Amino acid sequence: MLSDIERKVLRVIGNYSAGRRRTPSVDELCVKTGQSRGGIMTVLDVLASEEYIEWQRSEPDKIEVLEAWERKATGR
């Protein structure tokens, strides 16, 4: 299950890419979420490890969306 900020960043990325046909830069994510650059980088690490996006710290502005919305919780 994603935290609130992780869910927010994922939705911003999904909506932004649907409307503009490109993913937002890390700086644009900072502006849209009010988070610091380090905070956004940490969130992107989590989203990549959970396989919502493909992203690497070595190319911070290259984000590929795999799933734009949080998965439903299972087992309840």
pLDDT given for residue 72 in this prediction: 87
Helix 26-33 vs helix 4-20: crossing angle, to nearest 10:
120
Give the residue extent of every domain in the chain.
4-65
Q: What proportion of the chain, given as a percentage, has pLDDT over 70?
A: 96
Note the pTM of the prediction, 2 decimals: 0.91
pLDDT given for residue 75 in this prediction: 60
Task: Give the distance from CA 61 to its chain's centroid.
Answer: 11
pLDDT digits (tens, 9 = 90+) for 11-35: 999 999 999 999 999 999 999 999 9
**Domain 4-65 falls under CATH 1.10.10.10:** yes
Q: Does position 76 have pLDDT exceeding 60, yes or no?
A: no
pLDDT given for residue 73 in this prediction: 76
